[in-house]
Amino acid sequence: MFQRFFMTALLFSGLASIGQAQNPTPRMQQIIQSYVANKTFMGTVLVSQDDKLLVNQGYGFADLEWNVPNVPEAKFCLGSLTKQFTAASILLLEERGKLNVEDPVSKYVPDAPAAWKNITLFNLLTHTSGIPNFTSFPDYGPTEWKDTTPAELVARFRDKPLDFEPGTKFSYSNSGYIVLGYILEKVSGQTYAEFLQKNIFTPLGMTDTGIDNNAVILPKRAQGYSPSGHGMQHAGYTSMTIPFSAGALYSTTGDLLKWEQGLFGGKVLKPVSLTKMTTPFKDGYGFGLFITAQNGHKIINHGGGIEGFNTSLAYYPDDKLVVIVLGNLNGSAPDQIAADLGKVALGEQVTLPSERKEVQVPVKILNDYVGTYQLAPDFYITMTVENGQLMTQATHQPKFPLFAESDTKFFLKVADAEVEFFRDPTTHAVTHLMLYQNGAAREGKKQ
C-alpha cells in the first residue's frame, strides 16, 4: 500500500545525541551495513552535501532469484514520493493561469458530490479535505491487482461521507492526490505521465524516471520483496494504474538528486510557488511535503511505501544536504537509515541498537510498567511482561521485546528508539512514558 503511516511508524525512528564527526562517510556506511546485516534493508542510498557525494551505493539485491546486486542505477517504485511531483505540477498549472489552488474542487469536477462543496485544491494538497482514504477501504487489498482509470478511482470514494469538515484537520489521504491527478489531466489536456515528462523529467534530465507500468520491460528495475516468517518473499502484485498520481512513479537515487537540485534550485517553480509548496499548514504538511526541524535544522521530506518498496527523500535546505534511501524490501529501515544519516552528516552521534548495553531489571519493576499508554487520539502503546521480558506493541504493529539500559529506560533492537518510564513522586505509581525519536520526545500517558 502506498499511503504513509506516520503514527504507526512512531517506534521506528532514530535516536541521537550531539557529537562531532570529522569524516561522516565511514560511520554512514556502518549504519547502513547494520541494517543490511540484520536483513531489514536492501536498496540504494545517496547522500550529498554541498554538491559533494558522501554515499552513492547499492546494497543487497535487485533480484534475489538471479543474485543481481543493487546498483545506484537501479530503478525503484517510489510510492508516495510521487505526491510532491503532483503538487509541483498543480503549481505549474497555477503559474500558467490554468487554475488556482484556492479554487473549489467542484470547478474542475462539475459532477462533484454536494459534500465536496467546500473542498478546495488547497485542501487536497494539504490532506485537509476530509475525503476518506480509499487505500484504507476493506475492498482495497482484494482489488489491488485490477487495472483501472482515474475516473474509476474517483468513483470509489466520491460518494463516501467526509471524515471531517474540510480544512479543520489533517488526515493523510491518497484519495485527495488521486483527485489532483484527475484534475491535472482535465485542465492540461494531457495524461499525467505526459505532463510530468514534458514539464519536469525532460527539463531536469531525469532520464531514469517515469510512471510505472507493470507490463513494460524496464531495464535495471529492482524487484520488490516483503519479509515473512520464512524469510524474504516476492511482494504482492499492485496494478500501477491504482496509485496513479498518489504513488505510481519509479526513479533512481541519481534522478531524485536532480529533482531536489532542480526544485530547490529554482529550475521548476517560481519562488512564490515553492514557498507555497514548502509552507506547512497542519501537522507540518505543505504541498506533498512534510516540513519539520530537528536540533535547529530544517528538514523538508517525504517517504513512500508500496508493495515491495519503501522510500525516503529528505532535503536540509540550510545545510545543502540531500539524503535519499530507496528500499526494495518492505519495512521501516529506509526511514530509519535516512534519519540517522542526516544526523551523522550534521555532526550528531548515532547509537545503534546493537551498540547499547543491556542490563537486567527485576520482574517486579517490569510489572509496574504493564498497561496501555496513549500517545495520540488513535495511537497507543501497550506494555506486557512475558516470561520475564518487557514487551511492547503499538497500534497496528507487531509485538516486540524491550531491553533495559536502566531501571527506567529501555530500547528496541529491531529499531532505533527508546522508551523511558516516569513515576508520581508521591505515590511512586507509573504515570507516563516518553518515546524518544528523531531528536524529539513524545509523551504517552498511562490509561
| Whether 110 contacts 203, CB under 8 Å | no
Residue 57's contacts (CB-CB under 8 Å, 6 or more residues apart) are: 32, 44, 45, 72
Integer CA distances (angstroms), 15 to 118, 132, 221, 397, 411, in order: 41, 33, 33, 20, 10
Please check the confidence at residue 352 and state whether its pLDDT lies above 70: yes
Query: Exposure of 351 by Cβ count < 10 A (0-12 exposed, 13-18 middle, 19+ buried)?
Result: middle
**Confidence label for 20 from pLDDT (cuts 50, 70 and 90):** very low
Q: Which of 291, 247, 285, 39 is nearest to 134 (CA)?
A: 247
Residue appearing with cell numbers 510489572: 367
pLDDT, mean of residues 269-297: 96
Q: Which residues pair with 18 in a beta bridge?
A: 348
AA letter at 31: I
The backbone torsions φ and ψ at residue 300, rounded to the nearest 5 degrees and listed phi first, read -115, 110
Please check the confidence at residue 5 and state whether its pLDDT lies above 70: no
pLDDT of amino acid 7: 32
Q: Which of 336, 340, 294, 298 is nearest to 319 (CA)?
A: 298
Residues 63-114 pLDDT 10s: 999 999 999 999 999 999 999 999 999 999 999 999 999 999 999 998 999 9
d(CA 124, CA 321): 29
pTM over 0.95: no
pLDDT, mean of residues 170-197: 98
pLDDT of amino acid 441: 75
Please check the confidence at residue 3 and state whether its pLDDT lies above 60: no
Please check the confidence at residue 13 and state whether its pLDDT lies above 50: no
Q: What is the average pLDDT value for the chain, to the nearest integer?
A: 92
For 303, other C-beta atoms within 10 Å of its C-beta total 23
Query: Exposure of 102 by Cβ count < 10 A (0-12 exposed, 13-18 middle, 19+ buried)?
Result: exposed
In this chain, the answer to whether the domains covering 1-355 and 363-446 adopt an identical fold is: no
**Confidence label for 15 from pLDDT (cuts 50, 70 and 90):** very low
d(CA 343, CA 352): 12
Domain 363-446 has CATH 2.40.128.50: yes
3-state secondary structure 211-266: ECCCCCCCCCECCCEEEECCEEEECCCCCCCCCHHHHCEEECHHHHHHHHHHHCCC
Choices 3.40.50.300, 3.40.640.10, 3.40.50.1980, 3.40.710.10: CATH for 1-355: 3.40.710.10
pLDDT, mean of residues 405-430: 91
3-state secondary structure 286-310: CCCCEEEEECCEEEEEEEEEECCEE
pLDDT of amino acid 11: 38
pLDDT of amino acid 188: 98
DSSP H or E segment with residue 210? strand 210-211
Residues 357-375 pLDDT 10s: 899 999 999 999 999 999 9
Residue appearing with cell numbers 498518489: 246
- Alpha-carbon 292 to chain mean position: 13
Q: Which residues pair with 373 in a beta bridge?
A: 381, 446
pLDDT of amino acid 6: 33
Query: Exposure of 190 by Cβ count < 10 A (0-12 exposed, 13-18 middle, 19+ buried)?
Result: middle
Residue 355's contacts (CB-CB under 8 Å, 6 or more residues apart) are: none
Residue appearing with cell numbers 479554487: 103
DSSP H or E segment with residue 188? helix 174-188
* Polymer length in residues for the chain: 447
pLDDT of amino acid 354: 79
pLDDT of amino acid 408: 96
Q: Would you list the domain boundaries of the chain?
A: 1-355, 363-446
